[in-house]
Amino acid sequence: METRPLGHSGLAIAPLVLGSNVFGWTVDEATSFALLDAFVDAGFSAIDTADTYSRWIKGHVGGESETIIGRWLKRSGKRGKVFIATKVGSDMGEGRCLRKDYVLRAAEACLKRLQIDCIDLLQSHFDDEVTPVDETMQAFAQLIAQGKVRVVGTSNMSLERLKASLAASKRLGIPRYESLQPNYNLYDRVDFESQYAPICAAEGLGVITYYSLGGGFLTGKYRSAAEAAQNLARGGKVKGYFDARGQRILRALDVVTTRQGATPAQIALAWLIARPGITAPIASATDLTQLNEIMQAPRLTLTDEDLAVLNEASA
């Protein structure tokens, strides 16, 4: 299967990442294991998680997703076949934090839950905007030097702080961020394309998109805000997509799915995969049927006409 480089790190991943935010939330451990087995057995490798998944659930403390992945890794013996990406810096009880002491502690906790010796990609989940970028990058550099992390990336960081972080790494002669994880999909285009895409291209950063299916909106299964709110865990956010532009996007997806003999979710992911500079989209699945659906997306080839229809509708 085609792989794509992750920045200048020398690492590469297949153009689809399995999101595990649902593990321990809407998906139990047994189903999570089945999904992970099927994903890896199909030739994919990259799994995205975070220490805070799924702290938002009553009774959860965070780390539930990582713990399930760790148990699966131990049981399956497939560590050598997977690329583990996790995140630190979100609120795990101490607020959003990227201080050096915190990053080091949080990374150790991730390693313990995942039951691994080294994290392939450790990302700053949210920027605390108080800690100097030099301090954060030095923390990441220490983890890399210790062999506990291979490369680092970032998510949910302002353009100014991203630029400052890259400049700090260069000035200090230490490892830099090799990837960005932005909110990017057919509907959410403006912020990434106008602000972040130019620096990602100029600096050679890998781009791994989250909310790739718009929280379920781009699956085409829901045609109204009320319907989505009733059926989706994140229905409150998704309802904002059902404006005139959102409806144009859904109609365009219908046109292309008919041409391609595919599903709206597959087309929405294939559009991302075809975008310049995109390394891979993240997509989650709650059962094997959904997983098998999204795993077909990298195998689709959208025509220039298909892309024009989608680009015009989502412009």
Summarised one tens digit per residue, pLDDT across range 128-161 is 999 999 999 999 999 999 999 999 999 999 999 9
Which residue in the block uniquely carries the two structure tokens 């915190």?
Answer: 102
187 labelled catalytic: no
Residue 13 DSSP one-character state: E
Question: pTM of the entire structure?
Answer: 0.96
Measuring CA to CA, how many Å separate 62 from each of 1, 59, 123, 284? 33, 9, 16, 18
**Tell me, what's the pLDDT at 213?**
97
**Tell me, what's the pLDDT at 20?**
98
- By residue count, the chain amounts to 315
Does residue 31 lie within any of the structural domains? yes
Nearest of 78, 80, 100, 81 to residue 89 by alpha carbon: 100
Q: Is 140 exposed, middle or buried (0-12, 13-18, 19+ CB in 10 A)?
A: buried
Measuring CA to CA, how many Å separate 311 from each of 185, 208, 216, 257, 268? 11, 20, 19, 15, 11
Does residue 247 lie within any of the structural domains? no
Does residue 312 lie within any of the structural domains? no
Q: How many domains does the chain have?
A: 1
**Tell me, what's the pLDDT at 223?**
75
- The CATH number of whichever domain residue 33 belongs to comes to 3.20.20.100
Does residue 238 lie within any of the structural domains? no
**Tell me, what's the pLDDT at 233?**
61
- Residue ranges for the chain with pLDDT beneath 50: none
- Residue 149: which domain range? 4-181
Distance of CA 121 to the CA centre of its chain: 11
**Tell me, what's the pLDDT at 305?**
98
Q: What is the dihedral of CA 145, 150, 151, 154, to 10 degrees?
A: -100
What's the longest Cα–Cα distance across the chain? 53
Beta strands in 20-134 (DSSP E): 46-48, 83-88, 119-124
Cα–Cα distance, 103 to 108 (Å, whole number): 9
Does residue 225 lie within any of the structural domains? no
Summarised one tens digit per residue, pLDDT across range 192-239 is 999 999 999 999 999 999 999 999 999 988 877 777 767 666 556 788
**Tell me, what's the pLDDT at 222?**
80
Cα–Cα distance, 130 to 89 (Å, whole number): 12
Does residue 153 lie within any of the structural domains? yes
Does residue 147 lie within any of the structural domains? yes
Does residue 198 lie within any of the structural domains? no
**Tell me, what's the pLDDT at 224?**
76
Q: Which of 53, 184, 196, 241 is labelled catalytic?
A: 53
253-282 per-residue burial string, b: 16 or more CB within 10 A, e: under 16:
beebbeebebbbbbbbbbbbbebebbbbbb
